[in-house]
Amino acid sequence: MTKFALYTKTSTENSQHINIVEMPSITQAEAYFAGVKNLSLTQLREIFVVKEINGPNKTLLYGNR
Q: What percent of the chain has pLDDT over 70?
A: 75
Q: What is the mean pLDDT of residues 29-47?
A: 95
What pLDDT does residue 22 have? 94
Total residue count of the chain as it appears in this document: 65
C-alpha dihedral sign at 42, 47, 51, 57? negative
What CATH code would you report for 2-52?
3.10.20
Q: What is the pLDDT confidence band of residue 16, given thresholds at 50, 70 and 90?
A: confident
Q: What is the pLDDT confidence band of residue 9, given thresholds at 50, 70 and 90?
A: confident
What pLDDT does residue 10 have? 75
Alpha-carbon distances of 59 from 24, 39, 56, rounded to whole Å: 22, 24, 9
What pLDDT does residue 58 have? 59
Domain residue ranges of the chain, discontinuous segments joined by +: 2-52
Q: What is the mean pLDDT of residues 33-38?
A: 96
